Amino acid sequence: MQNRSLSRRTVLASATVAAAGVVGMTATPAVAHRRDERLKKIIARMSIEAKIGQLFVPYFYGTSATSPSQFDQDRNLRELGVRTVAELIAKYQVGGVIYFSGWANNIQNPRQIADLTNGVQRASLALPTPIPSLISIDQEHGANVRIGSGATQLPGAMALGAGGSLLDARTAGRISGTELAALGIHQNFAPVADVNVNPANPIINVRSFGADAREVGRMVAAQVTGYQQVGVVACAKHFPGHGDTGEDSHTGLPVITHTREEWGRIDAPPFKAAIAAGVDSIMTAHLQVPALDPSNEPATLSPAILQGVLRDELGFDGVIVSDALNMRGVRTKYGDDRVPVLALKAGVDQLLFPPDIGVAYKGVLAAVRSGEITEDRLDESVLRILRLKDKVGLLSGSPYVSPKVVDRIVGAHKHQRAAARIAERTTTLLVNEDETLPLRRGQRKLLVVGASPAFPTDDTRTTVPELAKAFGELGYSTTHLATGRTPDAAKVDEAVAAARGRDAVVVTTDNVGPTSAQRTLVARLLATGVPVVHLAVRNPYDVAHLGDVPASLVSYGWTEVELRAAARVIAGRVEPRGKLPVPIQRADDPAEVLFHSGHGLSYDD
């Protein structure tokens, strides 16, 4: 096909669905037809190479689009074949990029993110076909946060499930979406629609709203609405459901053994609810579901699952996003050149995080040139992606963001106050023997001890000192000792010694198992005779392994907002109101339920 340049003016003049109504509303058939006709004119002027580029959402290193650190330039050159993300966009004409904190070093603070976004968009508008990038992120909140410092932190999915408020779930989505949009990030890979029915699930767990399919569906729909009302593309994940697996698809290929009836009852309802709420995108899972596809292809590569079930049976016509293509679960049978081709043939539209963008791009290009993938099939996915860009306003005006708007919106006091109120409604009190809680007036000297996961976006801040700080701000005299998830005998002895002379001990746990050394720590602290309060900072299932603790709570996460809420509950400043969104089985007899879904004490009980 001839490569004909498309002017910026033509692209940016393309009308949006938002221009005909409110962002997030479904367009009427007539409006949708007119929109598609305009977008098809854009597609007709695109080269094959530009169309293929629109499908990819790669990672990159560095905090700047054009001048990252030398270290990040070297990493980009080694892994991507370019020095900067601007060069990456120019070389492959990619339709979007994804931001990561930590290892990718894309995120420092809101002002820096805004500068990075503007640099990405300048590079996109300098292409022969100047179409703005759809910038993506995994900002689930709770245990999975990318933007930390400066942005509002919100309770994660299972915490919101414990709160049980659809209004809170929707509000959390609106706050998060408002701040992301201010930063020029218009696609968030959230919410998680998986139903966590397996306590041993190593990858979903508290990222899920709970174990009840109907309730999860209601929360998912609420969050989808919240995000999309403020112009951010929501993404329900991981289809067809990752909630009942004991294996991580990052490192293996899990198998979901549900029957077709069980899948329809357990896994499908949240995705149906998301589709009914108008979700713009759905992410695939790298796992096998024999009941849906006897060939045992990973769902990401399965026409039977993506086309047969998601498109034809559930009626979803939005963008299908692959889960990250660098994950082991999708690379077990095919090479990195074939995986994106097979994903497209199965029905995927956006190809997320290819392990080698050059290999993936050339693989798709070869498939199109050979006729294995038709240009019509290519155009279907490009049209869906352009619809998203159109819907969030990227094609109707400037894609650039204003530092002044960022300063006013991101981390706004009203957002933080709302987040604190939501978090206080999620903390769950499981056990309170002999009215151990709330702490009494004379219990002013506290020891905070235990597992101390690093804050999701800042490994210099960890749970135990931050929780101690929260108690200090409430007027307590606190000391703290982080013992980690695997405390040795010396560290346990140190904790026991530190408990002497304290009025109470708050001990945190993180993912306690049957052989966990955290069990020893809690048992030794109980033996001191000092009142012990247990706080599970992630999994609600920890309490099943700890014996007879006099007081036990769950925060479902360890961000600052969740820890502050837990401290206020323990201190009696607010009532515990959370209710378990999952059942907790006995550790010694999993057939027996220790705490049923819906369990949660108050101080009046």
Which residue(s) pair with 450 in the sheet?
482, 508
Residues 95, 387, 41, 89, Cα dihedral to 10°: -10
Q: Is 250 a catalytic residue?
A: yes
Distance of alpha carbon 574 from alpha carbon 567, whole angstroms: 9
State the sign of the Cα–Cα–Cα–Cα dihedral 354, 14, 407, 111.
Answer: positive
Distance of alpha carbon 20 from alpha carbon 41, whole angstroms: 19
Task: Indicate the DSSP class of residue 136.
Answer: E
The alpha helices in 392-499, defined as continuous H runs, are 403-409, 413-424, 463-473, 489-499
The string over 544-578, giving b where at least 16 C-beta atoms fall within 10 Å of a residue's C-beta and e elsewhere, is: bbbeebbbbbbbbbbbbbbbbbbbbbbbeebbbbb
CB contact at 8 A, 282 and 321? yes
Nearest by Cα to 17 from 39, 35, 40: 35
Nearest by Cα to 313 from 378, 349, 278, 264: 264
Number of helices (H) and strands (E) in the chain: give both, helices first. 22, 18
Nearest by Cα to 525 from 506, 509, 551: 506
Nearest by Cα to 154 from 184, 177, 183, 131: 177
Catalytic entry in 250, 356, 379, 407? 250
State the CB neighbour count (10 A cutoff) for residue 250: 14
Distance of alpha carbon 224 from alpha carbon 227, whole angstroms: 5
Nearest by Cα to 40 from 2, 14, 3, 7: 14
β-bridge pairing 454-455 and 351-352 = unpaired
Question: What is the DSSP track for 293-331?
Answer: -TT---GGG-HIIIIIIIIIIT---SEEEPPPTTSGGGS
Residues 153, 157, 160, 161, Cα dihedral to 10°: -170
Distance of alpha carbon 311 from alpha carbon 29, whole angstroms: 19
State the CB neighbour count (10 A cutoff) for residue 505: 23
Question: What is the DSSP track for 339-366?
Answer: HHHHHHHHT--BEE--SSHHHHHHHHHH
Q: Which two tokens stand for residue 450?
A: 């235990």
Distance of alpha carbon 198 from alpha carbon 37, whole angstroms: 46
Catalytic entry in 267, 280, 323, 336? 323
Residues 224, 225, 226, 232, Cα dihedral to 10°: 70
Active site (catalytic) residues: 250, 323
